[in-house]
């Protein structure tokens, strides 16, 4: 993915009240940040924020936290949020490899939408459904582990099914054509583009 440099992205991101500046300070205390004890769901690799913003609007009794590594991408979500008044969404700029440094036994659901497939075998551990990341997720889930994944990449999808299954996850739903499923689906920005080109979306929901 080629990233475009956004002028003053750092200033815009750091100024926003939607962005958690020092997330490690809130570990086990996110209820104080949201001022409630509602469930907390996170999206890893939230991109420009279409999905998680729509989810926050649709489910006001759930708290959402979007994680994005790149400031030049995160800033687009910040710009959208500044036009809204949502109390149940926050953003964190960080690499997902550090997820256990900012959360501990407090997450209900993890969304993995159109993650980088890292197709080369030597990069397999970087995939967000590799056992390396699944071990990290064990540390952040509150009770039952719950992962929802969407991807256009069939190779990543097959890898995810095998990895999750081997790690002890059970599948509530698996689909190779999400658009034609009876699922209450909130679209991401990528998903809109893919569906307009008749590219099928793979979907899974897994528990452990």
Range of the domain at 93: 9-207
CATH of residue 99's domain is 3.40.50.150
4 assigned to some structural domain: no
pLDDT digits (tens, 9 = 90+) for 80-109: 999 999 999 999 999 999 999 999 999 999
Highest mean pLDDT among 64-78, 99-113, 184-198: 99-113
Whether the per-residue pLDDT at 2 is higher than 60: the answer is no
Give dist(CA 124, CA 35) in Å, integer. 39
Percent of the chain with pLDDT over 90: 80
Smallest Cα–Cα separation from 93: which of 2, 20, 12, 16?
20
Cα gap 61→73, rounded to integer Å:
27
Give how many domains the chain has, as a whole number. 1
Q: Examine residue 100 and state whether it is found in any structural domain, yes or no.
A: yes
Distance, first Cα to last Cα, the chain: 32
Q: Does the residue 2 lie in any domain?
A: no
Burial class (CB in 10 A: 0-12, 13-18, 19+), 107: buried
**What pLDDT band is residue 193 in, cutting at 50, 70 and 90?**
confident
Q: Is 177 a catalytic residue?
A: no
Task: Check whether 1 has a pLDDT greater than 50.
Answer: no
Model pTM score: 0.94
* Two structure tokens written together for 20: 């958690």
Q: Is residue 201 part of a domain?
A: yes
Question: Which of 100, 116, 131, 138 is labelled catalytic?
Answer: 116
């Amino acid at each position: 993915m080629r990233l475009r440099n956004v002028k003053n992205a750092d200033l815009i991101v750091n100024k926003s009240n939607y962005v958690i500046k020092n997330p490690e300070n809130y570990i086990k205390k996110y209820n104080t940040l949201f001022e409630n004890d509602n469930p907390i769901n996170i999206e890893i690799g939230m991109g420009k924020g279409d999905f998680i913003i729509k989810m926050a609007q649709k489910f006001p009794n759930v708290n959402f936290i979007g994680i994005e590594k790149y400031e030049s991408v995160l800033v687009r979500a910040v710009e959208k949020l500044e036009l809204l008044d949502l109390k149940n969404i926050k953003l964190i700029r960080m690499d997902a490899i550090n997820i256990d440094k900012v959360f501990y036994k407090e997450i209900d659901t993890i969304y993995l939408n159109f993650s980088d497939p890292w197709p080369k075998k030597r990069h397999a551990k970087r995939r967000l459904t590799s056992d390396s990341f699944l071990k990290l997720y064990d540390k952040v889930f509150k009770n039952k582990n719950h992962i929802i994944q969407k991807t256009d990449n069939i190779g990543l999808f097959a890898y995810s099914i095998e990895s999750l299954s081997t790690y002890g996850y059970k599948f509530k739903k698996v689909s190779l054509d999400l658009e034609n499923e009876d699922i209450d689906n909130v679209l991401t920005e990528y998903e809109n583009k893919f569906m307009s080109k008749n590219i099928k979306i793979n979907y899974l929901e897994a528990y452990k």
